[in-house]
Structure 1
Amino acid sequence: MTRRWIVSTALAVVAFLVASLAVSVALARPAHRGIGQPGPLVIVSMPSLTWADVSPEATPALWSLAQRGAVGNVATRAISAHSCSLHAWLTVSAGARATIGAGPGQTGPDGKVEPCNRMPAPTVVGEGARFQGWKKWRTISLKRPIPADIGLLATRLRERGSCVTGVGKGGAVGAADYNGFVARYYSSVAKADFTQCPVTMVSLSDKKDSALADLLPRLPAHTTVVVTGHADDTEPESMRAAVVAGPRTPKGLLRSPSTRQPGLLQNADLTAMALSRVDRDTSYILDGRKPGVQPQDDADRNIEHVRDVSQALYAEHRVVAPFFIRFVLAVVVASLAGLAMLASSRWRSWGRRWFVGVGAVTAAMPVSTFLVGMVPWWNSSRPGTALSLSIVGIAAVLATVAVCGPWRRWVAGPAILLAALTAVVIALDLTHGSPLQFVSIMGLQPVYGGRYYGMGNVGYALYASTSLLVAALLAGRWILRGERRLATLTVVVIGLATIIIDGYPAWGADAGGPLALLPAFAYLALNAAGLAVTWKRILVVGGATFLLVGGLGLLDYLRPPAYRTHLGDFVASLIEDGRLTSLQRNIRANWTMLTGNWINFFVPVLLLLTIYVLIARTSTLGRPVAEVTRRVRYLGHGLAAIAICWLIGFVSNDSGTAIPPSGMIVIAPLVIMIAASTGRLTPNDVPESAVTDQDVDDAPLATPVRAG
């Protein structure tokens, strides 16, 4: 038995490594190069500019810059869902998301955009200018749960013997120091002198290319020019265009350690770019990192890439609500049809097959929303329709493979296949930069302030839930063979791989995830070994969890500041300044999500209901689940471990409100598949009589925690 376990485990590891190597080859990228600034730096905002606006005919001046420089998109979200030029310039000034006032909300389905905050005008003082209310704005910004140190950029440059020129009201906001003073100020490009300071901030009133064409000839020799869409302003939320061109700017895709995505920056990265002129280490900036370039000589291909990403992100977000509403309605209708079949003795067997099929398609849908990223649906004339049909088509193919393959002979076989596929796809995506999550409707949602890389909360819910289910069901096979030691090893191996991929800073970079995963897998491992869950063991698991997460954070902290994730930044802020900024951000984000919509209050209810169903096995709600868990060894403990993971993940993650319902999307149909299946209750190599040898550990959460 041990030899079989070793061989099967080795084959699974080799298969994963081969798949990982294949993905690595497909995504191979040249080494990044830095952006040199031998002369002045000029940052120009053309509000709401996207790559859909850029072409040789419509924007010849910008197109010329893009042909000889590096291109990308800018994630412009500040504090509010809709970004405004005022907030964008404050963010550049602070190197962190900043705002004055509440800011507009997200654009609704009707496409109506709320008005932005008015851009304040400075008072001219000699060659410079001053914002009268700046000290008050700065005090308010520093008192926010996530403080924004507005004026940081200009003050730091001034302390290093440099200065910043502001052109236009927005440019002046970006160029103001801690006191709200702008060293050099010009109200318009026509009046500006671009030789006064090494760094100049220019705010154009619109995205007309003629204004840029008038500006470019007036710049000094060897100037590095940054042109950015900067903010949403009067248009719906989207990624905004960015171009960097200069004598030492390679052609290619802009890239920043803060986003880890080819062709993507944040507004705060421009702060790091400007400050890198005087500071080699700019890690004191909260959100921004110095950008570089992923070299690529084909300028047209570079523009096509960033335009495709912008179009995909714009389209996929608008598909989320209608797709899920229609999908849920379709599942409800299909379920009612299945119930009608089950009510008829003539069609009962077909009803069970129907539910297996419906469950398989529903369970395959989440992973299909990631795999669809390999299909260029955004190039369709109707991208939303193409995306929806592609997701359904992929789900149908995966469901067919699950219910028709040889594994169908075991009642849990199809469910294990779909759960394992979901976990493996997400794991491969994480270890290769999260390109599938990045554009998925169940992914990172970067336009709206989600993550840009690593593990998103929806992806985490799917990944954690399916990994735990696979571990439980595979462990159950070994328990049926009387091999509890191998069952425990199965849980430990899958658990370690799941936790490392989720928490490792270069992959999942998830702090809250391991906090929930380790106790859940520990619960599975203890029960697989036949050990009681005692308070002493709970304390040991809690200490191990703390050490694991702390260790991952410390390892990340020891990396160069430019390459740290939020894990390392949290440890750095705790060690160096005694601040808990990242923790405050997580708590604030979770509370905002929970209270932002009345429907989110049902999430705690869902959690409590799940726990009740697993505990009250003889209740009206608990009996159907208890019947399923009696059929498949160790499934009950798998569901209990998943509930533990959801509960801790709900509390410990930012936007943890999304975790329980997202996990339920994949776990519920998998359980329904198992319940409806007519396959063997054991794998082919285990006698059916083994299922009669049930013991008390098949009653998850029903056994009280022991004192010793």
Structure 2
Amino acid sequence: MPARLTSPARVLAALAACAAAALSLLPASAHAQTQPRTTASPGAIVVAFLPLPDVFTVEEGAEPPPELDPVLGRLDLIGPLALGLSSASQGSYDAIQALLDIGQGTRVSLATYTPKRPPELRLTQDAAGGWRIDGWQLQRERAASAPAELTPGLLGSLAGSGIAYAGVAGRSQREAIVAADGDGRIAAVSLGPASDVAARTLALLRMHRVVVAGLPTGERGNEAVRQLTEARRPQDLLIVMQTPPLTGRAQLLPTGVAGLPGGAGALTSSTTHLKGIIAGIDVLPTVLGHLGVAVPDTVKGQPMRTKGAHDAVALERLADRLRVVLPRRLAGFWTFLGAWLILLLIALLVSERRGRRWAMRVGALGVLWLPTVAFLNAVLRPARLLELLLTALLALALGGLTDRLVRFPRAPAVPAIVALVTCAVDLAFGSPLIIRSVLGPNPLFGSRFYGLGNELESAMASLLLVALAASLHGRGRSWRAVGVIAAAGVALSLIVGAGRLGADVGGVITVLAGAAVAALLMLPGGVTKRAIAVAIAAPVLGLAALAAIDLAGGGDSHFTRTVLRADGSGALWDVVARRYELAGRQAIRGFMPVVTLVAALSIAVAIRRRRLILE
């Protein structure tokens, strides 16, 4: 019975079914063309920032306390605004950098800048009475060091006669950074008491089509938003965002917008493809689109739009979950290892040889069950201690149950296939569980908002090979085995790489390269030069197929926008060079060299001692 449950045909059938189901479950919007980036409008635009009292904390790794004064709930009560959470950064967070990114419409990781942190930027008035951001030239030089085309103050430079700023006197005016043009100058500035900031904002609109406003904190800030909402004409655009706080933690900034087609729905954009989530860099193309100004190709943000009805409570719950995911990732891993060690010691006390082998099998199977347990925790959203216990004890319990019901070495196919199927189905529904799990990409850090991250990319490729190896063990080399491996690799690469599923181009290369090598090893006539050439070509052919599928589906993925639509071969080469530069920097950061060495040694030991492992 166990062999029949994990046969190669069933592995292939499961993956093929997942690929077909995933594609069939894609929403109709997945096949729509990208929203036009310019729409002429005669209306005025206000970009208002609603601050919380600054509390500067830099502690990393600990779970943050609940927000005492949630801005999202305040915006929900104030008026008919489309609501969402705005990703403030890519990777590590810095409040000043978040404001700079809004004004330039493009962002990269802080680690890619030299120096890493922005210079001190202050609103100052020159001798002639003009207003500018002091330190702007240093920021322009810093932006030039990053591996991307960044133009600080791009929004202010393209907004016709420039952007005006209204703020509260006597406090930090960091919100004025968004109003600066390419030279750091601001068209007009009005500083005064908190009580009339909305009135002064409206007065500036008589001379300028775009005004940035730094609102007061607390109830006076709420009142200012109410006044701006009530004064807004149908053709005007009002964007209200929480001011990026001076904290060391990554942020999802509550945002409300009035004036978008669709009314007071949930905010989204083609940057995130995630209902209720946008990115700070989406402000620039949204504002320029409202002005009827063409958006430069260097801008990576996408216009905001609404999708369905908003749910402020659900968004707050999502934000709460995303804040605790990273601190629990390594904690869960170490808890699992600790529980596995305890199990091994107990097994050795009972029966040294048999106990050791049993505990090693159960632990290995438990590792394969971890992705499925992570998805379960994403559904349950348990407290920290309970999640750590579930991660360790449930994974080991499932490992023990699998070992009892299915003979080794076919047993690993069971958790591998379950994880692959679960992941594929979740991707088809927009990856709601993946982004809430400890293994998924976290929208809080702004690099990915749906699909697969680096952790699951490598995990899924490994799970596929484990499932195939366990199912084909003892069957010998054959063309049938080669066909099963090849078909399974193609099916998984489709799931991993499709623009509205895994959206992971690198994952396509990983999966197809791994499947190609596995297929080579199963060739009945041995490895030939022609077979090696086909194996090398497999990832390239996979990328070509991915491009065709994405273009047929509307061409709205990051892969299409940055690679397939690059402006000429020079621009394409520039994209490739920057990607490799970023990858190179990541490879030498932190513990990555040590982790790479440990992984390489583990592979070598596994190959050298494979007979002992399979006993």
Q: Same fold (TM over 0.5)?
A: yes
Q: 2:379 corresponds to which letter in structure 1?
A: M
Q: Which residue of 2 aligns with 1:514?
A: 508
Q: Deviations over 1:560-602 (max 9, x none)?
A: 67x23145413333627525454345334434433332x3222
> How far has the Cα of 1:243 moved from its partner?
1.4
Q: Which residue of 2 aligns with 1:470?
A: 467
Q: Does the C-alpha gap of structure 1 residues 247 and 186 become closer, same or farther in structure 2, counting only changes over 3 Å?
A: same
Structure 1 residue 272 corresponds to structure 2 residue 285: yes
Q: Is the 8 A contact 1:34 1:292 kept in 2?
A: no
Q: Which residue of 2 aligns with 1:76?
A: 88
Q: 2:454 corresponds to which letter in structure 1?
A: N
**What number of residue pairs does the alignment pair up?**
577
Structure 1 residue 626 corresponds to structure 2 residue 611: yes
Q: Which residue of 1 aligns with 2:387?
A: 387
Q: Does the C-alpha gap of structure 1 residues 127 and 370 become closer, same or farther in structure 2, counting only changes over 3 Å?
A: farther
RMSD: 3.8
Deviates further, 254-263 or 430-439: 430-439
Structure 1 residue 612 corresponds to structure 2 residue 604: yes
Equivalent residue runs for 1:686-701 within 5 Å? none
Q: Which residue of 1 aligns with 2:558?
A: 565
Q: Is the 8 A contact 1:48 1:234 kept in 2?
A: no
SS in 1 for 2:565: helix
Measure, in 2, the Cα distance between the counterparts of 1:95 and 1:89: 10
Q: Deviations over 1:132-172 (max 9, x none)?
A: 543453243134212311122122222xxx64222343343
Q: Does the C-alpha gap of structure 1 residues 24 and 518 become closer, same or farther in structure 2, counting only changes over 3 Å?
A: closer
> How far has the Cα of 1:390 moved from its partner?
4.1
Q: Does the C-alpha gap of structure 1 residues 69 and 191 become closer, same or farther in structure 2, counting only changes over 3 Å?
A: closer
SS in 2 for 1:82: coil
Equivalent residue runs for 1:355-374 within 5 Å? 355-374=360-379
Q: Pick from 176, 182, 189: which aligns with 1:185?
A: 189
Equivalent residue runs for 1:135-174 within 5 Å? 135-158=137-160, 163-168=162-167, 169-174=173-178
Equivalent residue runs for 1:620-699 within 5 Å? 622-623=608-609, 625-629=610-614, 675=615
Q: Which residue of 2 aligns with 1:109?
A: none
Q: Does the C-alpha gap of structure 1 residues 351 and 10 become closer, same or farther in structure 2, counting only changes over 3 Å?
A: closer
Structure 1 residue 200 corresponds to structure 2 residue 172: no
SS in 2 for 1:262: coil
Structure 1 residue 318 corresponds to structure 2 residue 315: no
Q: Deviations over 1:273-308 (max 9, x none)?
A: 111124486472533111111122xx6xx0111101
Q: Is the 8 A contact 2:15 2:492 kept in 1?
A: no
Q: Does the C-alpha gap of structure 1 residues 191 and 7 become closer, same or farther in structure 2, counting only changes over 3 Å?
A: closer
Q: TM-score, normalised by structure 1?
A: 0.72
Q: Does the C-alpha gap of structure 1 residues 387 and 489 become closer, same or farther in structure 2, counting only changes over 3 Å?
A: same
Q: Is the 8 A contact 2:156 2:181 kept in 1?
A: yes
Q: Deviations over 1:620-643 (max 9, x none)?
A: xx23x23345xxxxxxxxxxxxxx
Measure, in 2, the Cα distance between the counterparts of 1:144 and 1:357: 47
Q: Is the 8 A contact 2:23 2:428 kept in 1?
A: no
Q: Which residue of 2 aligns with 1:42?
A: 46
Structure 1 residue 87 corresponds to structure 2 residue 97: yes
Q: Which residue of 1 aligns with 2:3?
A: none
Q: Which residue of 2 aligns with 1:503?
A: 497
Q: Does the C-alpha gap of structure 1 residues 256 and 552 become closer, same or farther in structure 2, counting only changes over 3 Å?
A: same
> How far has the Cα of 1:17 moved from its partner?
7.1
Q: Does the C-alpha gap of structure 1 residues 505 and 384 become closer, same or farther in structure 2, counting only changes over 3 Å?
A: same
Structure 1 residue 221 corresponds to structure 2 residue 218: no
Measure, in 1, the Cα distance between the counterparts of 2:513 and 2:237: 52
Q: Deviations over 1:66-94 (max 9, x none)?
A: x522211111115x61221x212211111
Structure 1 residue 448 corresponds to structure 2 residue 445: yes
Measure, in 2, the Cα distance between the counterparts of 1:132 and 1:503: 45
Gap regions ≥5 residues in structure 2: 1-5, 54-64, 168-172
Q: Is the 8 A contact 1:32 1:293 kept in 2?
A: no
Measure, in 1, the Cα distance between the counterparts of 2:526 and 2:313: 58
Q: Is the 8 A contact 1:268 1:287 kept in 2?
A: yes
Identify which of structures 1 and 2 has the higher relative contact order when contacts are C-alpha pairs closer than 8 Å and 6+ apart.
2
SS in 2 for 1:276: helix
Q: Does the C-alpha gap of structure 1 residues 174 and 471 become closer, same or farther in structure 2, counting only changes over 3 Å?
A: same
Q: Does the C-alpha gap of structure 1 residues 294 and 604 become closer, same or farther in structure 2, counting only changes over 3 Å?
A: same
Q: Does the C-alpha gap of structure 1 residues 536 and 567 become closer, same or farther in structure 2, counting only changes over 3 Å?
A: same
Deviates further, 170-179 or 546-555: 546-555
Q: Is the 8 A contact 2:336 2:393 kept in 1?
A: no
Q: Does the C-alpha gap of structure 1 residues 541 and 252 become closer, same or farther in structure 2, counting only changes over 3 Å?
A: same
> How far has the Cα of 1:440 moved from its partner?
1.3
Q: Does the C-alpha gap of structure 1 residues 541 and 45 become closer, same or farther in structure 2, counting only changes over 3 Å?
A: same
Q: Does the C-alpha gap of structure 1 residues 22 and 503 become closer, same or farther in structure 2, counting only changes over 3 Å?
A: closer
Measure, in 2, the Cα distance between the counterparts of 1:290 and 1:339: 61
Q: TM-score, normalised by structure 2?
A: 0.82
Q: Is the 8 A contact 1:138 1:150 kept in 2?
A: yes
Gap regions ≥5 residues in structure 1: 105-115, 378-382, 616-621, 630-674, 676-708
SS in 2 for 1:187: strand
Q: 1:613 corresponds to which letter in structure 2?
A: V
Q: Does the C-alpha gap of structure 1 residues 355 and 22 become closer, same or farther in structure 2, counting only changes over 3 Å?
A: farther
Q: Which residue of 2 aligns with 1:490?
A: 484
Measure, in 1, the Cα distance between the counterparts of 2:578 and 2:509: 17
Q: Is the 8 A contact 2:136 2:183 kept in 1?
A: yes
> How far has the Cα of 1:14 moved from its partner?
7.7
Q: Is the 8 A contact 1:357 1:403 kept in 2?
A: yes
Measure, in 1, the Cα distance between the counterparts of 2:489 and 2:471: 12
SS in 2 for 1:88: helix
Q: Which residue of 2 aligns with 1:305?
A: 314
Q: Is the 8 A contact 1:331 1:362 kept in 2?
A: no
Counting aligned pairs with the same residue, the percent is 20
Structure 1 residue 538 corresponds to structure 2 residue 532: yes
> How far has the Cα of 1:311 moved from its partner?
0.4
Measure, in 2, the Cα distance between the counterparts of 1:181 and 1:586: 33
Q: 1:492 corresponds to which letter in structure 2?
A: A
Q: Pick from 250, 254, 272: which aligns with 1:259?
A: 272
